[in-house]
Structure 1
Amino acid sequence: MTAETGTTAEGAPTARYDRRATAQILSRLARPGLFGTSLPRQVRCFEYTATELRPEPDSHLTVSQRLYLEQFMRPCRADEVTSATHRMTWTDSAGIPNTGFYRADGLGPLVPIATRESVLLLWEELAAEEGLAERIAGLGPGARAVLAATTTDHEPIDIFRVGIESAGRALAQHALLAGRTPYRTASEFARGLRDSGIFTAVATRWFWELQASTYRRGMIPVTLRVTDAGAIRYSARTIATLRAMKDATITDAHRIMRRATTEEGLSVPEAIAHYHDDLDLISRQYALLPTGERPSCPATASYRSGGVNYSLLPLVVQRFVEAFTDFTSRCEAVAAPAHADGPSDGPVAAEDRVFYVPDMTCKHCVRTIGGVLESMAIPVADIDLDSKRVVAEFRSPRNRVRAFEALRDGGYNPMSERPDPPGTRPAR
């Protein structure tokens, strides 16, 4: 391990920010085996409800997409962004409501469903790999200190879960561009992304918040080109734009850290904690990145062991594409029948004032959700990030439904019942 370690006054180990050491730790944990054996899957039919996105006049973007573009995607232009045509909602095999996006001229609603099922399957296989759990339990305090100093999620199992989810986002989001590729089925498209190196391009060229937030809004700032060999690549303009957006984010992070540690007199840990909670768009990895150093994704770093080079990302991508390909052959997406009777304008029951947002993960999400409700003149009594619980004063059941639709436009998945914590549901 290359990180410099020491101890605090209380004797706890410390470590400096070190992405290479982080990559080695994660690779050592994963290489003997990352995925265990899961239960066989049956053919499943998933009902979904689709809503056509309504772009602004004289634009191909919705209000939510345009606002995010203008506020957080400089210097990206609107003509560099592709939008979904439809937003869909469905309940996955774990009983969790989901929101996804697709284009009517693309691969359709099956891709978001199969993507989500593949994520759930790989999470289950992570939990089933007993050797992985033993290796994680055996991590020493020095290695844990490196992870704590370098990564947003400190527990290795959470880091692996987030990486799997990011791979799923990359596939579903790039499916908005499937009609511009040579691939005509969902399985061909997934294999094409893998073989063309698109998953690696996302990990190395995008920054985390850009992928998560544009995915939630059904948009992608990418243009593809097809090579003579039939592979797909990012256009030169896309590469330049993604780099410029990442550089702008790094600059913002460094500016905030300089102000916090000089003008405000905060220590580095205090500054990270304060601004991670308050802004969250400023990620830890960019705030701590040394000036002049290019950011790197630990999953893409090459680690040499036993005379061979090893990288974590290809392992995750290969298993994810296998699972996705299998699910597209076993799953069917069926549009749910329309209901003739809509919600009423009568009073709201006391229990209907409360709802949950499973993908509310940070203070930025809290502010966004609160802002959406308040913009609809819906008073917010409480938003609790830890429990994902929201209490709001809806005027009527119809008002509640419209508020849920507005939240889904922003990429969130409101649900009436509290979701089970990850890993608490029985295996399927």
Structure 2
Amino acid sequence: MEPRYDRAALARVLGSLAHPGLLAAAGPGREPFTAHYLAVPLTPEPGHHLTLSQRLYLERFMRPCPPELVTSATHRLTWVDEDGITNTGHFHADGPGPIVPIAARSAFLELWRALRTDAEFLGRVRALDEPARAVLAGTTTDQEPLEIVRVGVEAAARALTQHALLAHRTPYRDPADFARALRDSGIFGAVATRWFWELQASTHRRGMIPVAFDGTGERLRYTPDSVATLHAMKNATLAEARAVMHRARTAEGLGTEQAIARYHDELDLVSRQYALLGPAERPVCPATSWQRVDGSPLRLHGLVAERFVEAFAAAVRRIDAVPAPPADAEDGPDGLVTVPDMNCKHCVRTITAVLTSMDIAVHDIDLERKTVHAEFRSPRNRERAFEALRDSGYNPALLAPDRAPLA
């Protein structure tokens, strides 16, 4: 059956998969874990509170967001998680500290394990009929329900670690209390509905957040300026997507699928979801729509956020984050390197495009283990590739000596 673009139908499909027991198999986590991390201060530009990468991204892709609305992390950290995977993240020295990105990653791993072994969820996925699969293929980037929920959990982790950059401006000092406050205040839902596609992942990779909290009241909420700016940025991105799609269909004579393929290659920040919306349609995350499941109202996004906060609070209790001295790193086997902030298939496409544009052969990308197996011609060629990836918002690194080769 041909792919079918239908956001309302997609919301119903996701609702049918979000049974009340989804992710409930996640336990209290593994044994106590000591995370040894390396923290490096971020260096702002002279006379500016943002780094060069942050400022360039702001000016190129976040208009009309004013610089004063953006908060930067003070440090970038690197650590190896419980699955032996190298990760990178950011934190603010005045906030809860490095425990937030480290515990958020651990919570993600716990829920990802639960999801992959959830027999009821996997059974519902296998039982999807052809019309439902056509909707998934035509309306989503990730297409597979397992991948959609995985990306949703990882987006919740990003939302928490980004907003933790503002935690020192709230009453919450305990990381778990701050996470619960975000959940109870609806901030996870605000990210899914108010932020435009790609903004969260790109700003997260750069250690910045383009909102501020209103200091009045008990609940956490965005300032009116934050809401207005997010709305304006989303409108600008939506207008760009529609303009490019219109030009491709009319002046260039491309079909829809041809135009979508071209967007992924040439306009990396324009999503197919925005480009395919009708003239009067507003982009809404289908996972935030209420659906009736077995007679009860349920939202997939709310369920994921709830389970994530529970897993994060458990991870905070059992993880000890300890500074570590710098460790030597070396080339992985046959050009194997790690890109710790590679989160989704969109990242895979971007990284592949950057490397192949430099005539670097990409043999394999392992999204789960965040590794890239590429054919670098020399150490200098590899470093130039790293610089190009950093310009795209990623933080590639050489593998630590004890990392296992790609299976």
TM-score above 0.5, yes or no = yes
The one-letter amino acid of 2:178's match is F
- 2:376 matched residue in structure 1: 392
Q: 1:364: how far off?
A: 3.3
- 1:157 matched residue in structure 2: 146
- 2:22 matched residue in structure 1: 34
From the superposition, tell whether residues 69 and 404 of structure 1 become closer, same or farther in structure 2 (CA, over 3 Å): closer
From the superposition, tell whether residues 150 and 363 of structure 1 become closer, same or farther in structure 2 (CA, over 3 Å): same
Q: Which runs of 5+ in 1 are unaligned?
A: 1-11, 372-378, 422-428
- 1:426 matched residue in structure 2: none
The question of 1:364 aligning with 2:369 is answered no
The question of 1:218 aligning with 2:200 is answered no
Q: Could you tell me how far apart the structure 2 residues matched to 1:23 and 1:64 are?
A: 36
The one-letter amino acid of 1:33's match is G
- Name which one, 1 or 2, has greater alpha-carbon Rg: 1
From the superposition, tell whether residues 319 and 419 of structure 1 become closer, same or farther in structure 2 (CA, over 3 Å): farther
From the superposition, tell whether residues 403 and 198 of structure 1 become closer, same or farther in structure 2 (CA, over 3 Å): same
The one-letter amino acid of 1:144's match is R
Secondary structure of the residue that 2:198 maps to in structure 1? helix
Q: Could you tell me how far apart the structure 2 residues matched to 1:265 and 1:45 are?
A: 57
Q: 1:234: how far off?
A: 0.4
Secondary structure of the residue that 1:50 maps to in structure 2? strand
From the superposition, tell whether residues 32 and 419 of structure 1 become closer, same or farther in structure 2 (CA, over 3 Å): farther
Secondary structure of the residue that 1:296 maps to in structure 2? coil
* 1:54 and 1:62 in contact (8 A); partners too: yes
Q: 1:106: how far off?
A: 0.7
Secondary structure of the residue that 1:317 maps to in structure 2? helix
- 2:255 matched residue in structure 1: 267
Q: Could you tell me how far apart the structure 2 residues matched to 1:420 and 1:115 are?
A: 25
From the superposition, tell whether residues 368 and 172 of structure 1 become closer, same or farther in structure 2 (CA, over 3 Å): farther
- 1:123 matched residue in structure 2: 112
Which shifted more, 153-162 or 261-270?
Answer: 261-270
The one-letter amino acid of 1:390's match is A
Structure 2 residue corresponding to 1:206, chosen from 162, 177, 195? 195
Instruction: Render the CA deviation track for 1:392-418: whole Å, top value 9, x for unaligned.
Output: 345579x95995898499333434368
Q: 1:317: how far off?
A: 0.8
* 2:274 and 2:283 in contact (8 A); partners too: yes
Secondary structure of the residue that 1:277 maps to in structure 2? helix
Q: Could you tell me how far apart the structure 1 residues matched to 2:260 and 2:388 are?
A: 34
From the superposition, tell whether residues 307 and 270 of structure 1 become closer, same or farther in structure 2 (CA, over 3 Å): same
- 2:155 matched residue in structure 1: 166
1:24-423 alignment, distance < 5 Å: 24-38=12-26, 40-228=29-217, 230-338=218-326, 354-357=336-339, 359=342, 361-366=347-352, 381-383=360-362, 386=365, 388-395=372-379, 407=390, 410-416=393-399
Q: Could you tell me how far apart the structure 2 residues matched to 1:14 and 1:350 are?
A: 40
How many residue pairs match? The answer is: 394
TM-score, normalization by structure 1: 0.84
* 1:148 and 1:154 in contact (8 A); partners too: yes
Q: Which structure carries more relative contact order (alpha carbon 8 Å, separation 6+)? A: 2
Q: Could you tell me how far apart the structure 2 residues matched to 1:380 and 1:111 are?
A: 38
Q: Could you tell me how far apart the structure 2 residues matched to 1:419 and 1:338 are?
A: 21
TM-score, normalization by structure 2: 0.89
Instruction: Render the CA deviation track for 1:137-157: whole Å, top value 9, x for unaligned.
Output: 111110000111111111110
Q: 1:41: how far off?
A: 1.6
Q: Could you tell me how far apart the structure 2 residues matched to 1:47 and 1:350 are?
A: 21
Secondary structure of the residue that 1:135 maps to in structure 2? helix
Q: Could you tell me how far apart the structure 1 residues matched to 2:57 and 2:301 are?
A: 29
Root mean square deviation of aligned Cα: 2.9
* 1:353 and 1:394 in contact (8 A); partners too: no
Q: 1:93: how far off?
A: 0.9
* 1:49 and 1:90 in contact (8 A); partners too: yes
Q: Could you tell me how far apart the structure 2 residues matched to 1:349 and 1:128 are?
A: 34
Instruction: Render the CA deviation track for 1:72-101: whole Å, top value 9, x for unaligned.
Output: 000011111000000000011111100000
From the superposition, tell whether residues 81 and 349 of structure 1 become closer, same or farther in structure 2 (CA, over 3 Å): closer
The one-letter amino acid of 2:361's match is D
Q: Could you tell me how far apart the structure 2 residues matched to 1:191 and 1:37 are?
A: 20
Secondary structure of the residue that 1:51 maps to in structure 2? strand
The one-letter amino acid of 2:230's match is L
